[in-house]
Amino acid sequence: MNTTGRTVWAVLAMLVLMVAGHLRAAAQSTARPNIVVILSDDHAYQAISAYGSRLTQTPHIDRIAREGALFNKAYVTNSICGPSRATILSGRYSHKNGFKDNVQSDFNFNQHIFVKDLQQAGYQTAWIGKMHLGDSTPQGFDYYNLLPGQGHYYNPDFIGVGKVRKQYHGYVTNIITDLSEQWLNGRDKDKPFCLVIGHKATHRVWMPDLPDLGLFENKTFPLPANFYDNYATRKAAMVQDMSIDKTMLMDYDLKMYDSVAVADRQAAVKRMDAVQKKTVLDHYKKIYDDLKARKLSGKELVEWKYQRYLRDYLATAASLDRNIGRVLDYLDQHDLTKNTIVIYLSDQGFYMGEHGWFDKRFMYEESFRTPMVMRYPGVIKPGSKVNDFVMNLDIAPTLLDAAKANKPADLQGLSFLPLFNKGHHATRDALYYHYYENGEHAVSPHFGIKTKRYKLIRFYKRVESWELFDLEKDPHELNNIYPTPKGKEVAAGLKKQLAALIDQYEDTEAKVIFEQSIE
């Protein structure tokens, strides 16, 4: 063959390879969506405008809901940080994945987690930000860069692959987004990806980014209907230690520092540079001086604390929402939007003053339920509203379903993709919950069942009691009807359903407690 002939063949061969490459990329992109899971910490649905918040606007979370689905009944299996993440990763309840509370040992990564199956299916995987599963080396992620433990709002450390620890300058929510964008830029573009962005926001102590300080200073928020709760009929609620009145601290939580020396001792302030510190301390000093002049006490002081709590919390959430917007913009700008699933959820719900509380843990609605929105172009019709029960337990099977990857047999969750099929197949008619931690905030361990109408809870260890709520008549969960004749009758039926769920999920510890009869 002469030189011209060889060149023609070489060009033809290159063209064939290029076309094949494009076809492969096209096939991959339609068959296997990219996945972005944005997981916040302690973000209440009451603080999200897509859920009709009376408190604030969250335009970017709302955009996901508008272009995809809003889940009105998304719940968690165990309302606390590490256990929720362990459930999301494993698709199994705490008693199966072994991570029951935040105070025990590290998560055992030598178990089935959905990211390993995605890797097997050819995905690139990464987790950036807060993970909070202890110190064991993560498996299933090609890349990770994680906040140690709870992490810090200002100038946080991150621990990356190979245990490399590095401090970054700036505000945590922005840094997590920067690192996420960097990873997306550098990824292998021939493979689909799954990126988990784990935010610290809006965790205690609700420290806003500098431009957001003062965002809500001129706003006064309405009190929730059950802000003043005397906990009559509910022993566990009576003994908790998570009230705005008694537990929330003026200095630690609300940044009312008597002096710069007091401020310097606070973990939230300690790591700030001089400019950050001056901006933050100047902001709170004015509020502190005003408070001193007003000499508040009793109800006035509790309501003042509630307003301060909300202002800091919502200002911290403003940065979270803005950074979610940055990720959506990135996907737009890189032509990734139409082939990328985006899920936003919190690790659990949070009390915004309901029952007089902050924090979570209880099976009561505000902490049991979590906000969740999901965009999946071509599969989820924009503006969908999902009123079926779904759980954080379902994320793993759902994403494996979407990626057409192998689903391990021991998954306890259910893919919720069938909810978006034409036929619409409901997933479950009752929810099972089990909370274990028995320490900070003094919430008694408990398990229970929620149906469309009722919620039956068995508290144990700290408090031994049953509670039953008729959610139709008593949506704020103030009136435990378990001891009433009608309650006894309803509870008898629910106990059968609860026993069936305990068996179905093989929660042997709960079974033993359930079978001990108490009134």
Tell me which residue of 311, 255, 318 sits closest to 281, measured CA to CA: 255
Binding site for ligand SGN (CB under 6 A): 41-42, 80-81, 102, 132, 150, 203-205, 359, 440-441
Q: CB within 8 A of 296, min separation 6: which ones?
A: 304
Q: Report the residue from 32, 36, 39, 42 that binds Ca ion according to the rule CB under 5 A.
A: 42
How far is 278 from 333, CA to CA, in rounded Å?
A: 37
Q: Is the peptide bond before 37 cis (omega within 30 degrees of 0)?
A: no
Nearer to Ca ion, 197 or 263 (CB): 197
> Which amino acid, 274?
A
How far is 494 from 516, CA to CA, in rounded Å?
A: 16
Nearer to ligand SGN, 251 or 388 (CB): 251
Tell me which residue of 210, 462, 471, 458 sits closest to 316, measured CA to CA: 210
**CB–CB of 337/353 below 8 Å?**
no
Q: What is the CA radius of gyration of the chain?
A: 25
Nearer to Ca ion, 78 or 119 (CB): 78
For tokens 């990720």, the residue is 327
Q: Which does 440 bind (CB under 5 to 8 A by kind): Ca ion, ligand SGN, none?
A: ligand SGN
E strands, 340-426, are 340-346, 372-375, 384-386, 390-391
Q: Tell me how far the alpha carbon of residue 388 is from its chain's centroid.
A: 19
Least separation in angstroms between CB 130 and ligand SGN:
9
Q: Which does 502 bind (CB under 5 to 8 A by kind): Ca ion, ligand SGN, none?
A: none
**CB–CB of 36/51 below 8 Å?**
no
Segment near Ca ion (CB under 5 A), from 78-86, 300-308, 380-388, 423-431? 78-86
Least separation in angstroms between CB 43 and ligand SGN:
10
> What are the CA-CA distances from residue 368 to residues 160, 302, 392, 466 (Å)?
32, 25, 11, 17
Residues counted in the chain: 519
Exposure string of 483-499, with b = 16+ CB inside 10 Å and e = fewer, is eeeebeebbeebeebbe
Nearer to Ca ion, 224 or 349 (CB): 349
Tell me which residue of 137, 60, 76, 30 sits closest to 373, measured CA to CA: 60
- Structure token pair of residue 93: 């309840």
How far is 358 from 302, CA to CA, in rounded Å?
A: 13
Burial (CB < 10 A; 0-12, 13-18, 19+), residue 257, is: buried
Segment near Ca ion (CB under 5 A), from 122-130, 211-219, 282-290, 340-348? 340-348
> What are the CA-CA distances from residue 194 to residues 37, 80, 188, 308, 396 (Å)?
8, 24, 12, 38, 12
Least separation in angstroms between CB 368 and ligand SGN:
14
Nearer to ligand SGN, 268 or 490 (CB): 268
Least separation in angstroms between CB 347 and Ca ion:
4
Nearer to ligand SGN, 193 or 206 (CB): 206
Least separation in angstroms between CB 67 and ligand SGN:
28
Least separation in angstroms between CB 134 and ligand SGN:
12
Give residue number: closest CB to ligand SGN: 81
For tokens 């905030």, the residue is 441
Least separation in angstroms between CB 458 and Ca ion:
23
Q: Which does 366 bind (CB under 5 to 8 A by kind): Ca ion, ligand SGN, none?
A: none
Segment near Ca ion (CB under 5 A), from 12-20, 65-73, 250-258, 345-353? 345-353
Q: Which does 142 bind (CB under 5 to 8 A by kind): Ca ion, ligand SGN, none?
A: none
Interface with Ca ion, residue 347, by CB under 5 A:
yes
Q: Which does 359 bind (CB under 5 to 8 A by kind): ligand SGN, Ca ion, none?
A: ligand SGN
Q: Which does 204 bind (CB under 5 to 8 A by kind): Ca ion, ligand SGN, none?
A: ligand SGN
Tell me which residue of 45, 64, 54 sits closest to 324, measured CA to CA: 64
Least separation in angstroms between CB 69 and ligand SGN:
25
Segment near Ca ion (CB under 5 A), from 73-81, 230-238, 285-293, 424-432? 73-81
Interface with Ca ion, residue 242, by CB under 5 A:
no
Least separation in angstroms between CB 437 and Ca ion:
12
Segment near Ca ion (CB under 5 A), from 76-84, 220-228, 335-343, 454-462? 76-84
Q: Which does 217 bind (CB under 5 to 8 A by kind): Ca ion, ligand SGN, none?
A: none
Q: Tell me how far the alpha carbon of residue 505 is from its chain's centroid.
A: 22
Q: Report the residue from 69, 76, 81, 320 that binds Ca ion according to the rule CB under 5 A.
A: 81
Nearer to Ca ion, 46 or 276 (CB): 46
**CB–CB of 93/87 below 8 Å?**
yes
Which chain residues interact with Ca ion by CB under 5 A? 41-42, 81, 347
